[in-house]
Structure 1
Amino acid sequence: MENSKNLGINTICTHIGEVKDEQFKGAVSPIYMATSYAFDGVDVKRYPRYLNTPNQEALVKKIAALEKTENALIFGSGMAAVSTTLLAFLHKGDHIVLQQTLYGGTYNFVVEEFDKFGIEYSFTEGLSIKDFEKQIQDNTKVLYIETPSNPLLTITDMKAVSKLAKSKGIVTMIDNTFASPINQTPIDFGIDIMIHSATKYMGGHSDILAGAVAASNEHIDKIWNIAKNLGGSLSDFTVWMLERSLKTLNLRVKRQSKNALKMAKYLAIHPEIYHVYYPGLKGHPNYKLAKKQMKLFGGMLSFELKEGIDAMEFQNQLQLIKPSMSLAGVESTMLSPAQTSHALLSPEERAKQGIKDGLIRFSVGIEETKDLIADIEQAIQKVKK
């Protein structure tokens, strides 16, 4: 069952990209843990670093089907996926335009490493198409966006960015981690390359580290050509775990998205909350655009407590929601971006992106929202006392 075009999303999640158990007819994919394979008399010379073991080859079919692309690759982490993909398309003397609001790891990789490679870069001042157009140079090769963004949930117009890039022969890339392919498929809006921290929604259980890239065969070949040299592969046990996790991706993300909307509405009218960042709120500046691009609005939101309520003390008083790094697990978590995801940025760089020290990022899980609300209420009351 390799043709997924007419299949429903749950069927794709469950069945595409399985490794068939031909020997014992088991219901789940067997794991092939070998790091050494025959090289003579075989159709494929397999080697883990070449990203072509049986489990790796099967898994990318599921990811490509979810993103509606021809092909995909998997990596040892989201940053391995980001860095390998960027270096596949950028060389000495090239230029890239990146949107201003980005995941801190991506921002840090660009500003720390690109000068060493002789790669030029510019960040937009805002998110309008004019902001992107203003930064384009004759040597611009890539436009890089992230929507919704981490951690302020800004929304970028994918169709407008794609149209601008295509008019100038520029490749477009998106970090699609926060939305996941359940809530948006950027290829529908003309984006060329989709990148994921598969640690997050694709993994979904806070127990694996992985990255993924989905694109056309032509673009994947280009990325693979450098991936085999950089060596950012992952073990086949992790590959197997990720394939298992993807089976419930649609079920998990839909529940998390619906929960997040309820929590955003609750927080938006809370007397102790100063501001909520969630594209599903009608007061969000990009609400209409988000509604046009996304099926649901995702399981991530951020908020600021009113002055006098310490953000860290509040998180330490939580009993159900975990103050924890990373995001998108089935369990709800909170963190302070200034101390975690964006800690590598200077205070000035964070301020430029609008990330305040008191900002809290909330990854909403699959729990009952009444229980999450009760936990937030008791934590606020304890801090106020």
Structure 2
Amino acid sequence: MDSNKKLGINSICTHVGEVKDEQFKGAVSPIYLSSSYQFYDVDIKRYPRYFNTPNQEALCKKIAALEKTENALIFGSGMAAISTAMFAFLHKGDHVVLQQTLYGGTYNLVVEEFDKFGIEYSFTDSLNTDDFKKEIKSNTKVIFIETPSNPLLKIVDLKAVADLAKKHSIITMIDNTFASSINQTAVDFGIDIIVHSATKYMGGHSDILAGAIAASNEHTDKIWNVAKNFGGSLSDFTVWMLERSMKTMSLRVNHQNANAMKMAEYLEQNPNVDNVYYPGLRSHEDYELAKSQMKGFGGMLSFELQSDLDAMEFQRNLELIKPSMSLAGVESTVLSPTQTSHALLTPEERASQGIKDGLIRFSVGIEEVEDLIADIEQAIEKIKK
């Protein structure tokens, strides 16, 4: 296929990065499970820990095509991708600026590990660009953002942060997991390095653990030099499953976008709900910004029941929606961030980010909206009794 031909998003998901079955002409990629390859008379000396087996290389082409970057790398988890990217550009004496609201695992990585390596860090007071500017020091090497944020779906101005970083010769990194490659192309706004928990929308079926990084050749080369030492590569069977799953990513995500919008509108008018956090709602403080940099508003939202309703009992009484850790599967799930994604934070740290004990994070799946609404209503009625 002509690499210069501009393909639509579903065509990229389906065809780019597939391994050609030259022997039997099968319609899907063959899987190469070998952990040992010939080292002489070959163009590439392949070794699984070097991220260059046939299936690994092919999948990275699909991810790079979706993110509009020159290259990509695939990892054993989202945290493997985040930590490797960070340590590739941060060394003893360097400083990183991170946004105020972050995935709990990322926050924990920074506060528990960076001091050991002599890496300085600052968290912004808010997500305004001026707050990022205020935290920049002479030794700042990286700005790390996550938008929409987890779990309150706050939005960071991608272009403003990227422009700020470029003025100071700082590398920008984004956790693009919540938005997905379908809804947000961060490189279009000047972001340097895009990180994903591929476990989520790329996998989409709650059966894959993986991470991904997309960036320029220059930046991925630098990350690869660290990655081969850290050993966070992904098994080829999981790589094959992920490539298979990504073929339907656009179809899944666009349906989840539509469902989440309807669920957010329903919850916003529900008298038993105090607050709804979804960037697609006009009432969301970052609605206009989200509309300007996202193609879709995503399948994630959060909400707070009225204070006299027990959020945990509500989740226990759901019958269709699954109270479950993680997110972005085809099935709808809910969880309490204080007990899962942000459990590693102290109560004070959670309070500073606006994460209340009664907050429920809702990953909207592909079911009929009417069925999801009926499930929420019956669970509320049970706890009210």
Bin of the TM-score, shorter chain as denominator length:
over 0.9
Aligned residue in 1 for 2:274: 274
**Is this contact kept in 1: 2:307–2:358, CA < 8 A?**
no
For residues 149 and 4 of structure 1, do their structure 2 counterparts lie closer, same or farther at Cα, with a shift above 3 Å needed? farther
* CA deviation map 1:11-66 (0-9, x unaligned): 00000000000000000000000001111111111110001000000000000000
- Whether 1:140 aligns to 2:140 is yes
Aligned residue in 2 for 1:260: 260
- Whether 1:152 aligns to 2:152 is yes
Aligned residue in 1 for 2:79: 79
Report the Cα distance in structure 1 between the residues aligned to 2:58 and 2:310, rounded to whole angstroms. Answer: 47
SS state of the match for residue 96, structure 1? strand
One-letter amino acid of the counterpart of residue 114, structure 2: F
Report the Cα distance in structure 1 between the residues aligned to 2:384 and 2:93, rounded to whole angstroms. Answer: 55
**Is this contact kept in 2: 1:4–1:65, CA < 8 A?**
no
Aligned residue in 1 for 2:329: 329
For residues 133 and 206 of structure 1, do their structure 2 counterparts lie closer, same or farther at Cα, with a shift above 3 Å needed? same
Q: CA RMSD in A?
A: 0.7
Aligned residue in 1 for 2:112: 112
Aligned residue in 2 for 1:239: 239
Report the Cα distance in structure 2 between the residues aligned to 1:332 and 1:294, rounded to whole angstroms. Answer: 22
Structure 1 residue 5: Cα displacement: 5.5
One-letter amino acid of the counterpart of residue 25, structure 2: K
Report the Cα distance in structure 2 between the residues aligned to 1:159 and 1:40, rounded to whole angstroms. Answer: 47
Aligned residue in 2 for 1:91: 91
One-letter amino acid of the counterpart of residue 7, structure 2: L
- The equivalences for 1:1-385 within 5 A come to 1=1, 3=3, 6-385=6-385
TM-score (norm 2): 0.99
Aligned residues: 385
SS state of the match for residue 373, structure 2? helix
**Is this contact kept in 2: 1:18–1:28, CA < 8 A?**
yes
Report the Cα distance in structure 1 between the residues aligned to 2:42 and 2:176, rounded to whole angstroms. Answer: 36
Report the Cα distance in structure 1 between the residues aligned to 2:303 and 2:198, rounded to whole angstroms. Answer: 25
SS state of the match for residue 302, structure 1? strand
Report the Cα distance in structure 2 between the residues aligned to 1:42 and 1:100, rounded to whole angstroms. Answer: 48
SS state of the match for residue 159, structure 2? helix
SS state of the match for residue 226, structure 2? helix
For residues 310 and 4 of structure 1, do their structure 2 counterparts lie closer, same or farther at Cα, with a shift above 3 Å needed? farther
Deviating above 6 A after TM superposition, structure 1's stretches of 4 or more consecutive aligned residues are none
Report the Cα distance in structure 2 between the residues aligned to 1:324 and 1:72, rounded to whole angstroms. Answer: 30
One-letter amino acid of the counterpart of residue 112, structure 1: E
Report the Cα distance in structure 2 between the residues aligned to 1:262 and 1:149, rounded to whole angstroms. Answer: 20
For residues 4 and 185 of structure 1, do their structure 2 counterparts lie closer, same or farther at Cα, with a shift above 3 Å needed? farther
Structure 1 residue 250: Cα displacement: 0.4
Structure 1 residue 308: Cα displacement: 1.4
**Is this contact kept in 2: 1:99–1:126, CA < 8 A?**
yes
SS state of the match for residue 290, structure 1? helix
SS state of the match for residue 214, structure 1? strand
One-letter amino acid of the counterpart of residue 209, structure 1: L
For residues 58 and 264 of structure 1, do their structure 2 counterparts lie closer, same or farther at Cα, with a shift above 3 Å needed? same
**Is this contact kept in 2: 1:4–1:16, CA < 8 A?**
no
* CA deviation map 1:116-144 (0-9, x unaligned): 00000000001111100000000000011
Report the Cα distance in structure 2 between the residues aligned to 1:194 and 1:22, rounded to whole angstroms. Answer: 33
Q: Which runs of 5+ in 1 are unaligned?
A: none
Structure 1 residue 181: Cα displacement: 1.0
Report the Cα distance in structure 2 between the residues aligned to 1:142 and 1:279, rounded to whole angstroms. Answer: 26
Percent identity among equivalent residues? 77
